[in-house]
C-alpha cells in the first residue's frame, strides 16, 4: 500500500508565485486534511474535508485554497506565495466523517521555501 503520497517533497517559490501541493491516498478514506509545521512548533490545521465535494477551514486557512473532487485526492493551492508560508506541509487521511475513533495516516511532507 502506498498510503498517503505527497508531491513534491521539496519546492522553492518566489514571492507572488502560485502552486499546488498534491496529496493522494489509496485507502478509500473519507477524511483528509492539510497541516503546516513551522520550526519548533506542532502542526496547525489549514483545511480539511470529510468527503468529496465537502471542505472546511481549520486554524490557519488564509492564503490557501482546497477542493475535493475525488475521494483519493486533496490538493492544496497557494494563491500568491508569501515568505510567511515557508513551512513543512503535511497531508493526512482517515476513515469516517468526523469519527473520533480512528487513526490518521500522514504523508512524508512537502518542504516549501518562499523567497
Nearest approach, Cβ of residue 92 and other proteins (Å): 7
Q: Which residues bind other proteins (CB under 8 A)?
A: 4, 31, 33, 35, 41-45, 48, 50, 56, 58-59, 90, 92, 97-98, 100-101, 103-109
Measured CA to CA in angstroms, residue 68 lies from 13, 30, 55, 109 at distances of: 24, 10, 7, 19
E strands along 8-95, which residues? 10-13, 19-25, 31-37, 43-51, 54-57, 64-66, 76-78, 87-94
Query: Is 19 or 106 the residue whose CB approaches other proteins more closely?
Result: 106
| Cell reading at 10 | 521539496
Query: Is 52 or 105 the residue whose CB approaches other proteins more closely?
Result: 105
Distance (Å, rounded) from C-alpha 36 to C-alpha 38?
7
Nearest approach, Cβ of residue 104 and other proteins (Å): 6
Nearest approach, Cβ of residue 69 and other proteins (Å): 19
Query: Is 80 or 113 the residue whose CB approaches other proteins more closely?
Result: 113
Amino acid at each position: 500500500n502506498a498510503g498517503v503520497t505527497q508531491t513534491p517533497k521539496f519546492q522553492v517559490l518566489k514571492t507572488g508565485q502560485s502552486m499546488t501541493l498534491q496529496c493522494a491516498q489509496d485507502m478509500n478514506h473519507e477524511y483528509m486534511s492539510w497541516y503546516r509545521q513551522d520550526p519548533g512548533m506542532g502542526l496547525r490545521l489549514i483545511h480539511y474535508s470529510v468527503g468529496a465535494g465537502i471542505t472546511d477551514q481549520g486554524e490557519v486557512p488564509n492564503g490557501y485554497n482546497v477542493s475535493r473532487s475525488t475521494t483519493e485526492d486533496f490538493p492544496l493551492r497557494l494563491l500568491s506565495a508569501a515568505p510567511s508560508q515557508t513551512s513543512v506541509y503535511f497531508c493526512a487521511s482517515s476513515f469516517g466523517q468526523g469519527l473520533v475513533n480512528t487513526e490518521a495516516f500522514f504523508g512524508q511532507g512537502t518542504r516549501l521555501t518562499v523567497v
